[in-house]
Amino acid sequence: MGKLEGRVAIITGGAGGIGYATAQRFIAEGAAVVIADLRADTAAIDALDGQAVFVKTDVSDMTDVERLAAEVMAQFGKIDILVNNAGITRDKSLKKMTEADFDAVISVNLKGVFNCTKVVAPFMVEAGYGRIMNTASIVGVYGNFGQTNYAAAKAGVIGMTKTWMRELGRKGITVNAVAPGFIETDMIKTIPDEVIQGMIKSTPVQRAGKPEDIANAFLFLASEEASFVNGVVLHVDGGLAY
């Protein structure tokens, strides 16, 4: 029997990268998966053999998120697992970063996590069970050159994780965060190669991470084995130290 047999999971940003790998992993462990993403990568979603449902969602839009939850409840009758994973970057130095760059990243990476949790948590409270996992970043812990907006959002995600684990723990819900290091997805395609090589050199295990490395961490946190793990920020970064 799979570790997530009978569970219903929403994965935001699940059409690509880390979210997609997580969808694959969760399906392999028996979960029903709802991919909530802005873009429908139909080929990728078809490759999940009809075991994932796609709901077009902009996590930064509360009305959209309410519609997502209503559709999932209508189809599955419950939401056991929420993986807040959708994210964007608009990297620039503080000098060059515009207000629009700042607002765009905050609205998806920070407010999007608030919106989804705000809407989904009441269903979990009602059921007396839930696993909420937020995708932070080591950048939210250490900061990073050119990522004022992103670091602020990810540090905020860690703050919300620690707040919600206090508020929701007594209701049977655990809330944890994963802080990925440097992971090979579309998100890092704009990073110059010399910077990538530098990152790999600074990583003790001497490689970039793969989306599956993060999916495995989400699987652990979603599983019964993690029922006493609450409020952690699990660094999955090969030991990368800034």
Find where tokens 């579309």 sit.
Answer: 186
Residue 81 is a binding residue for ligand NAI (CB under 6 A)? no
Residue 36 CB, shortest distance to ligand NAI, in Å, is 6
Residue 12 interacting with ligand NAI (CB under 6 A):
yes
Question: What does the buried/exposed string (b/e) look like for 119-141 if buried means 16 or more CB atoms within 10 Å of the residue's CB?
Answer: bbbebbbeeebbbbbbbbbbbbb
Single residue of 88, 127, 200, 232 touching ligand NAI by CB under 6 A: 88
CB of 30 to ligand NAI, least distance (A): 23
**Does 155 interact with ligand NAI (rule: CB under 6 A)?**
no
Q: Which of 82, 86, 105, 173 binds ligand NAI (CB under 6 A)?
A: 86
In order of 6, 158, 212, 218, 232, the CA distances from 24 in angstroms are 15, 25, 9, 12, 24
The only residue of 7, 9, 11, 16 in contact with ligand NAI, by rule CB under 6 A: 16
Q: Is 238 in the site for ligand NAI (CB under 6 A)?
A: no
Helix axes 111-127, 62-76, angle to 10 degrees: 30
Choose one: 14-22, 118-126, 169-177, 220-228; the region binding ligand NAI (CB under 6 A).
14-22
- Point out which span in 31-39, 43-51, 91-99, 215-223 binds ligand NAI (CB under 6 A): 31-39
- Interface with ligand NAI, residue 38, by CB under 6 A: yes
Q: Residue 77 Cβ, how far from ligand NAI at the closest point, in Å? A: 24
Taking the complex as a whole, the smallest distance from the CB of residue 108 to ligand NAI amounts, in Å, to 4
Candidates 46-54, 82-90, 141-149, 217-225 — which segment interacts with ligand NAI by CB under 6 A?
A: 82-90
Token pair listed for 117: 């949790």
Among 22, 115, 137, 148, binds ligand NAI (CB under 6 A): 137
Q: Which residues are catalytic?
A: 150
Is 134 one of the binding residues for ligand NAI (CB under 6 A)? no
By CB under 6 A, the residues from 180 to 199 that bind ligand NAI are 180, 182-183, 185-188
> What does the binding site for ligand NAI look like in residue numbers (CB under 6 A)?
12-13, 15-19, 37-39, 57-60, 85-88, 108, 112, 135, 137, 180, 182-183, 185-188
